[in-house]
Chains A and B, each alone.
Chain A
């Protein structure tokens, strides 16, 4: 296998001595991910802050006499305009649509009287709000007004009617909610990660395999450099192995760069939402779990590289190779995504042996600490089997003059 070793060495040298390639494969993704996450975090924080800072403009019609007291005691900050009972509301509604007014509140005519003269079975008076739920300011103004002002006012009126409002509460549920939750902390955290991680891993590994594999095989065919290798006494199988291993190493490295930069970028993004949101995202693994994860990732890289390599060797041009690989990328992504939506039901062993899908559910189970050794073997075995079959096909293609020389 000296030939394969030489080819791996050459492929790695080719990438690492080319500044542009190093930047586009390893540096740019890291910078981009951290940059995008930082930007997204900043934007989100800015947006939340801005909505909070905004002073709502609210119009109120038929305001009850004691309502202003409630408003004053709550120190509710808003530009409030009181409308006459007979005022036409069309103009105000138009303002809400335009965004110049955030909220219109209409109390029923003779509101207080209707509340105080209420008898069982009678009509319950209404407070009607008008707002634009596609506008952030209007939405926030409405929620704020209903949650703080109206509910406080309602409590006040209830107190007037019943004096002791506790009589209205027959029993309570969960006085201390935190003590009610019984959960395996590790598993819960794993679940948060498990939803997204298999999908991201699939995407990153396949992306790397795609750009590198197509260039290393179709690119070499197109440039005419592959034939010079076919003229050496090397076994074709050795050339295939050399190519697959070198692309796997590079794709793995590229994915690792992505993963590491995401780990660094995550706190940057989440910082905007307060510190608790980060707590759900820290995970601890045992050595066995790490080893299992690495083995699964390794066979996944091998499989993806083999898929890309087969498409690349059959394609005549780099353009054609991209056209071949793109639909495969979508299939692989859908299989990776399937884990996001699958329920909690037990998966049969056969499911774990399905390449791509099985890998995704295995990673999910590693994160929640549920992967059994049998399932692990099934997923590695299934993936490896397909990858080896593909490797045999690639070697066959390398031996075919029709494929290699278009003859």
Chain B
């Protein structure tokens, strides 16, 4: 479903950014030759520290960024050549992308449904389903800027799934949520997996990755240093749990960079 081949993404830095990041090079490799694939009915987890390049990879998949080199296909469509088709089949959630605070969850849901070319009846059906699941009905007519963080996140998730996409890409979906809300989100991701969707999530929470993901790719400094099932990773690194495995790899690869 999602096929990333040798993805490299290079950002050009301005002088100001160079000073901020204390580097003398005017380019930054946010993603360095990354290849991975996520299949139908599978949750793939991208695990890495802040700034490792997880969001860059996901943004490339979501057609918001174009790869510098390499290629990405989603449901057989190239993200650069057929971005429109790709966008039809994906849901992309990240905390920098927000819903218009002036509107209610219901208005936003209907608005994005129509932008996806759905008819009103289908939109109503999807809305009932998703709003009931996430418990949005109680605050569906309130303005989004009056909602709590958890409510906002639930609304964002529901809206991002309005068109029942085949591929779901969630960037740190449980960030800032209490455990009850976080649990309902991860449970829904499992449900999506059972429905046969391909799901990619990024996270820096080890326990979440352990419990949720069928396969995990570990990204450090823009490079995918290992991927596989949890047991494969533990076996390879000779560790007991994911956190230890991650630190083994982190010690090894962040040294290389320095």
Q: A2 contacts the other chain (Cβ, under 8 Å)?
A: yes
Q: Is the interface of A mostly helix, strand, loop or mixed?
A: helix
Residues of A within 8 A of B (CB-CB), count? 26
A233 touching B116, Cβ below 8 Å:
yes
Q: Answer whether A14 and B100 are a contact pair too, CB < 8 Å, given A6-B111, A233-B88, A405-B65.
A: yes
Q: Which residues on A sit within 8 Å (CB–CB) of B115? A: 3, 6-7, 229, 232-234
Report the minimum CB–CB distance from A402 to chain B (whole Å): 8
Q: B178 contacts the other chain (Cβ, under 8 Å)?
A: no
Binary contact readout A202-240 vs B (1 if CB under 8 angstroms, 0 otherwise): 000000000000000000100111011111111100000
A401 touching B66, Cβ below 8 Å:
yes
Which of B91-99, B129-137, B188-196, B229-237 binds A? B91-99
Measured in the bound complex, the distance between the Cα atoms of B117 and A229 in whole Å is: 13
Report the minimum CB–CB distance from A91 to chain B (whole Å): 69
Q: Which residues on A sit within 8 Å (CB–CB) of B84? A: 233, 235
Q: Answer whether A225 and B64 are a contact pair too, CB < 8 Å, given A2-B114, A232-B115, A233-B116.
A: no
Measured in the bound complex, the distance between the Cα atoms of B159 and A225 in whole Å is: 13
- Among B59, B65, B100, point to the contact of A225 (Cβ < 8 A): B100
- Among A7, A18, A220, A233, point to the contact of B87 (Cβ < 8 A): A233
Report the minimum CB–CB distance from B118 to chain A (whole Å): 11
A223 touching B92, Cβ below 8 Å:
no
Q: A10 contacts the other chain (Cβ, under 8 Å)?
A: yes
A227 touching B116, Cβ below 8 Å:
no
Q: Which residues on B sit within 8 Å (CB–CB) of A7? A: 115
B11 touching A224, Cβ below 8 Å:
no
- Total of A-B residue pairs, C-beta within 8 Å: 69
A227 touching B97, Cβ below 8 Å:
yes
Report the minimum CB–CB distance from A74 to chain B (whole Å): 71
Measured in the bound complex, the distance between the Cα atoms of B112 and A234 in whole Å is: 10
Binary contact readout B107-122 vs A (1 if CB under 8 angstroms, 0 otherwise): 1000110111100000
Q: Shortest 3 CB-CB distances between A and B: which pairs?
A: A224-B98, A232-B115, A227-B97
15 further interface pairs, Cβ-Cβ under 8 Å (given A13-B103, A227-B97): A2-B114, A6-B111, A14-B103, A223-B98, A224-B96, A225-B98, A228-B98, A228-B159, A229-B115, A231-B64, A233-B87, A233-B88, A233-B115, A401-B64, A407-B11
Task: State the B residues within 8 Å of A (CB).
Answer: 11, 59, 62-66, 84-85, 87-88, 90, 92, 96-103, 107, 111-112, 114-117, 159
Q: Can you sample 23 A-B contacts with CB below 8 Å?
A: A2-B114, A3-B115, A6-B111, A6-B115, A14-B100, A223-B100, A224-B97, A224-B98, A225-B100, A227-B64, A228-B99, A228-B112, A228-B159, A231-B62, A231-B63, A233-B84, A233-B87, A233-B115, A233-B116, A233-B117, A234-B115, A404-B64, A405-B59
